Amino acid sequence: MAPFAELPEAFRRLQYHLLKRPGGDREMAEILALVLQHDEQAVLRAVEMALSSDVPTKTHVLNLRHRLVDGKPPAAPPVAARKPWS
């Protein structure tokens, strides 16, 4: 399937968070590139889950996507990893 012609809301929200940090533009590009190699609904779901757990990071999105594809229940991030995002 072709990459998104228009970013879904979850991707736009993730981009908002990532672009606040150095290297966030590269991380966002890497997350978007996942839809070229993996099920785009699994990537989108992982992004939504990362946002809802208040851990909008590339690493968390990748871990969640991996768990979704493998059929494992997503693990909650450690409390210390959760940060207040503006």
Residue-wise pLDDT for 13-51, tens only, equals: 999 999 999 999 999 999 999 989 888 898 999 999 999
Non-local CB neighbours of 44 within 8 Å, separated by 6+ positions: 8, 10, 11
Question: Which run of H or of E encompasses 78?
Answer: none
What integer pLDDT is reported at residue 62 of this predicted model? 93
Q: Please tell me the distance from the alpha carbon of residue 12 to that of residue 72, in angstroms, as a whole number.
A: 26
Q: Please tell me the distance from the alpha carbon of residue 15 to that of residue 75, in angstroms, as a whole number.
A: 23
What integer pLDDT is reported at residue 1 of this predicted model? 42
Average model confidence (pLDDT) across the chain:
83
